[in-house]
Structure 1
Amino acid sequence: MLSVGELIWASSRPLIRLVLCVTCGFVITKTDNFPPIAARGAGQVMLNIALPCLMFSKIVPAFTSDNIGALGPLVLVAVLYEVMGIMVAWMVKQFFWVPHRFRYGILVAGGWGNVGDIPTSVIMSITGASPFDSEKDQTLAVAYISAFILVFMITMFPMGANRWVAMDYVGPDVEPDEVREAIRVKRKMILYGWPRLISQLIRRKSESKLQEDDVRLNEAGFISEKNELDDRNSKEGRTLTSRGRHVAFYDDATTVVPTEGPRSPVCSPAPTEVGARSRLTSPEPAETLLRSQTQPSETQLYPVVLPTTAGSTDPLNTPKKPQRRTVILSHIRTFYKSLVAPASLAIILSFPIALIPQLKALFVDVPGVHISPAPDGHPPLAFFIDTTSFIGAASVPLGLICLGSALARLNVPKNNWNSLPLGAISFLAIGKMVLTPVLGVLMVKGLTNVGLIPAEDKVLRFVCIFFSCLPTATTQVFLTQVYSGTGEAEHLSPFLIPQYILMFVSMTALSAYTLHLLF
């Protein structure tokens, strides 16, 4: 059992290192020594070279056929955290006003956290020291982190979360006053309108019951009147029939017809014959009607259809097929590009190498598998693991420096705080950095109690709990700058800064509690 001082120091030490790295990037950006083009280049090096090397060098040695079952709970927890964050952001959006150009971006800010540099830095530092088993647990922890990174990449790009950011900039802008008024009405309806709604439903139910009773009474009266009328008509009919038999000299079949009143449509062939003849021999009215109905639609469709379906005989159906095919192909292309991205490809290729003993023995020592070693006695491709480990070591500090640079370029409001959505900013930060960690701890405990997460795998439990306390991903900053058309992320900046400030307190507390829970 660790003491309180040891827990606090073990939890705060990784964050001190994180703060120093982020501060370096912040300072060199503010002093104009790290221009945007340099930061973009460093980010590309980190994403396309350093991070794939780090993932490969950790996944191949860490995963075996014994612990590959942890991949399922990791993916499940990663998806649940994203869904949980989206729900928190959606609830904030219902009660507090959000800028019109951030109405969908707040869902991305709530659902997708910074799963790269921050958790990798902190978890590697904590699992690389006591009470964990230093190097072994550190390698295993980074391998577990790769599952969260893979889920992030697949849900952000192939599954279309990035399009939510683009949807913020579709259509005309709406003034903040109009958005505030609409949210005020909605909030009033949610908070105070439900008692009135319940009373209205009860009143409508009672009124509908009274109406049903009235209908039943009317039906009963109508049936009684109808029976009386039928009795009266039957008596009169018998009287008329008896009189007709005394004076008529014709057959009964011919005398009954004139005395029964109007003919029914079923018994009279004349209208049927006329209707059939008019349908079969006179198509002019139907053709005139069809022409009158289709003429306006043709004049509206031709300017749109003709440029894309030249020579087509069916302008209504032909545009749909290319459009649907184009959309499907674009989704497939986007999904393929995301899978062949260096980081995703390195993660995907690492798993079969780690699980096939003959392939894994080419890179690391595998008990029970004999592979001819290199002249130095190590596996033939051990130098590849050494190289990827060496390059991958630059991933975390480079990512933190880029994070500090991105934070330095955010536009911090100074004199217009009153014009900002302070309610949405505050509650989104509290929801992500306070509420979600509490729910994450309860969720991981529940999954452990039901046996989905092994209780003896303390690294897995620590990683799953730690990922519940992550601020919004800085990837959204780059996406917003691209889709905005102006290169700015003015609405996102106020939402990010409080989260990263609150992160240091909540992350330290969560790490200390998790260590106390595990050890």
Structure 2
Amino acid sequence: MMLERLRLVSKFRQAYGIWRPRNGGLQKCCHGSERRDKQDTMTLALGQVVWIAVKPVIRIYFIVGTGFVLARFNILSVEATRAVSDIVITALMPMLAFSKIVQNIGISDIKNVGIICLTSFLLFGAGLAAAMGVRRVLPVPRKWQGGILAGGLFPNINDLPIVYLQSMDQGLVFTPEEVSKGVANVIIFVAMFLVCLFNLGGFRLIEGDFTYEDEESESGREEKSELAEAAARPASADELESIPTRDSANTLPTGGERSEGGVRPLVPVQLAGPPLSMWNTRLSSVSSFRRRDSITSTMRSIDLRSMPPQGIADLIREYSNVDQFGKRLSMQEAAHGAAPYGEVGSHMTPAATQRSLTRIITSEAAVHKEDIEASGSTLPPWLRRFPLTKHVVFFLKNCLRPCSISVMLALVIAFIPWVKALFVKVPDGPHIPDAPDKLPPLSFLLEFTSYIGAASVPFGLMLLGATLGRLRFGNLPPGFWKAALVLVLIRLIILPIIGILWSEALVRFKWVNWGDDKMLLFVIVLSWSLPTMTSIIYFTATYTPINALDTTQMDCASFFLMLQYPVLTVSLPFVVTYFLKVKLDV
């Protein structure tokens, strides 16, 4: 009787597709409805999530440590560091940006691009507000008032988030396709970072901290010193007659009326320009720089490795772009007595304009306030009268940076389906005849850019390690450590909380959802959890004179940056673990 009842129950379940399998899970029913097995819906253990969050940090610090060791052995010298940095920003990073955006961004992602741009301004604004609050409440040296604002405003939103994402493509949380799209989203963040730092003049926050010597007061001090020295010793009548006056120092003899013997007497003619004492000061600074630079440049790189590790003074020597008066000097022109860069009047020759543009778009930290003033100097006078003309021209000049051009070009290609189909296969897109290898006709360009661009991230992290290995700081201003520590805690603990709240707000606004846009939301939270940009060191070195005795700006920037990376080892994994486990429910 019991057997017959079980047989009937079994037939009933088979008829309606609701039988219970042996493992206790739910299987596919005879009606074709697919249900997930209990094992498939099981979330990851907390220990697994913690390891997923910590493993990328270990990878990052191993690469950073490699750069640190190479710098300590002078293999990655300051000259090599700058050369590799210029290669990254002019070639490697633009190629990585082009390949990732074209492959992973489409017409349906326009909304996400807009969300990234909005998030970028909120992120930069929040960091700036935090730095302003710290500067107002806690002791910050007068010479680093703008530097602390830049430290709060600009995160290191380049190599760190990319390598972190690429370490999570094992499929436990994100698929390789989702990670590639996340890298493309990070690159759009990078483009917004470049716009704020260069196009909108964010670098002026750092440059504004530097006050340079006054040229007239310097020349006056030299003349007083010479007069005092002359007064301290007795002089003969002949010597007194031969001493030139200040006015005659800037004159040249020329012919006047003929004397009785038929010889023209020499009449002094005033020369336009600064006094010779000012030129002597500048040329002595230039010659000092050239002597120091020639010693290093004539030494073979293999011999450099037997010397003590290069330090912050060598970094300043390589990057410094100004003299003690804050003027950028062209070494070759100054050596021949030509006018220094930036003092050729309101007009620049086409050759000088071309050199300035090349320097701006191929260097990371070689931009100066004089570049803003010189922008638009070749335009007609009536157009230069408008106050915003030079700023608009400077903005457009910075759009010619290789990374900016690459991002704009890639987005145009990605948003036009039939153009994108020339590079990658577009599902439900226009049909483009394949090349003989059954791939899109221009796929070889993506293969080229992907192959070259892959070197961008490891090189960038090694440069970070090399820079950190050279940082030193002297006597910090009293109480500054409090301001630096508080801003670091805000940067790495408070801002990530705001980032998580912002991601929840985006979901509540129904702009995104946790299922389809989880990678975008993760990238947003990751971007709020990053330390200050490494470029703050390069910019500070650029505006520091080579022979500067007071290096308060560099000391503060070094201490502030070095303080963040130990905290990052704890803060970043904690934020990622919380977001994955609580918000994404992995």
Partner of 2:418: 358
Match of 1:15 in 2: 57
Q: 2: distance between equivalents of 1:382 and 1:393?
A: 17
The residue identity in structure 1 corresponding to 2:528 is S
Structure-2 separation of matches of 1:162 and 1:150: 15
Q: How does 1:176-215 map to 2 (within 5 A)?
A: none
**d(CA) in 1 for partners of 2:187 and 2:485?**
31
Change (3 A) 1:473 1:327: farther
Provide closer, same or farther for how the CA distance between residues 405 and 422 of structure 1 changes in structure 2, counting only shifts above 3 A.
same
Check 1:337–1:513 CA distance in 2 against 1; reply closer, same or farther (3 A cut).
Answer: same
Where in structure 1 are there 5+ consecutive unaligned residues?
174-306, 309-320
Q: What are the equivalent positions in structure 2 for 1:167-182 lying under 5 Å apart? A: 167-170=208-211
> What amino acid is aligned across from residue 179 of structure 2 in structure 1?
Q
Match of residue 571, structure 2, among 488, 493, 506: 506
CA distance in 2, matches of 1:69, 1:454: 13
TM alignment of 1:115-514, pairs within 5 A: 115-126=157-168, 128-170=169-211, 325=385, 328-367=388-427, 368-413=429-474, 416=475, 419=478, 421-456=480-515, 457-486=517-546, 489-514=554-579
Relative to structure 1, the CA distance from residue 395 to residue 87 in structure 2 (aligned partners, 3 Å threshold; closer, same or farther) is same
- The match for 1:190 is none
In structure 2, give the amino acid aligned to 1:53: M
**Compared CA separation, residues 424 and 172, structure 1 to 2 (3 A):** farther
Q: Give the counterpart of 1:56 among 62, 76, 98.
A: 98
**Is residue 22–residue 401 contact of structure 1 (8 Å, CA) maintained in 2?**
yes
Looking at CA atoms only, which structure, 1 or 2, has the larger radius of gyration?
A: 1
- Displacement of 1:366 in angstroms is 1.4
User: Whole-Å Cα distance in 1 between the matches of residues 183 and 125 of structure 2?
Assistant: 23
Checking the alignment, whether the CA contact within 8 Å between 2:107 and 2:417 is kept in structure 1 is no
> In 1, Cα distance between the equivalents of 2:571 and 2:580?
14
- The CA distance in 2 between the partners of 1:22 and 1:50, in whole Å, is 18
- Indicate how the Cα distance of structure 1 residues 431 and 323 shifts in structure 2: closer, same or farther if over 3 A, else same: farther
Cα distance in structure 2, aligned partners of 1:483 and 1:71: 35
Answer with 347-356 or 417-426: which moved more.
Answer: 417-426
Q: How many residues align?
A: 371
Maintained 8 Å contact 1:104/1:168: yes
Residues in 2 aligned to 1:378 and 1:324: alpha-carbon distance in whole angstroms: 51
Rounded Cα–Cα distance in structure 2 between residues aligned with 1:40 and 1:323: 37
SS at match of 1:377: coil
Amino acid at match of 2:74: D
| CA deviation profile, 1:48-68 (whole Å, cap 9, x unmatched) | 111111111110111112222
Could you give the per-residue CA deviations for residues 346-387 of structure 1, whole angstroms, max 9, x where no partner exists?
Answer: 000001101111111110011332112111110111111111
> Shift of residue 33 of structure 1?
1.6
Query: Per-residue displacement from partner, 1:145-180 (whole Å, max 9, x unpaired)?
Result: 12211110111111111111111113689xxxxxxx
Deviation at 1:133, TM superposition (A): 4.1
Q: Distance in 1 between matches of 2:383 and 2:483?
A: 38
Q: Which whole-Å CA distance do the structure 2 matches of 1:353 and 1:323 have between them? A: 34
Shift of 1:484: 2.3
Are 1:101 and 1:491, in contact at CA under 8 Å, matched by a contact in 2?
A: no
The normalised TM-score by structure 2 is 0.61
Q: Which is worse superposed, 363-372 or 480-489?
A: 480-489
Structure 2 residue ranges without an equivalent (≥5): 1-42, 215-344, 347-380
Query: 2 CA distance for matches of 1:13 and 1:160?
Result: 37
2:130 to 68, 88, 110: 88
Q: What is the alpha-carbon distance in structure 2 between the residues aligned to residue 9 and residue 349 of structure 1?
A: 38
| Residue number in structure 2 paired with 1:205 | none
Q: Structure 1 residues 502 and 357, CA, compared in 2 at 3 Å: closer, same or farther?
A: same
The whole-number CA distance in structure 2 between the counterparts of 1:473 and 1:429 is 13
Deviations 1:110-134 (A, max 9, x none): 01000101111102212x1233442
Amino acid at match of 1:60: V
Task: Give the aligned partner of residue 246 of structure 1.
Answer: none
The 2-side partners of 1:108 and 1:322 are apart by 35
CA contact (8 A) 1:60 1:360 kept: yes
Superposition RMSD on alpha carbons, in Å?
A: 2.1
Structure 1 segment 23-102 matched on structure 2, within 5 A: 23-102=65-144
In 1, the alpha carbon distance for the partners of 2:96 and 2:105 equals 14
**Aligned residue type for 1:469:** S
Shift of 1:418: 7.6
Q: Which amino acid aligns with 1:121?
A: V
Q: Distance in 2 between matches of 1:60 and 1:159?
A: 27
Report if the CA contact (8 A) 1:73-1:453 is conserved. no
CA contact (8 A) 2:384 2:390 kept: no
User: TM-score scaled to structure 1, two decimals?
Assistant: 0.68
- In the other structure, the counterpart of 1:243 is none
CA distance in 2, matches of 1:332, 1:119: 31
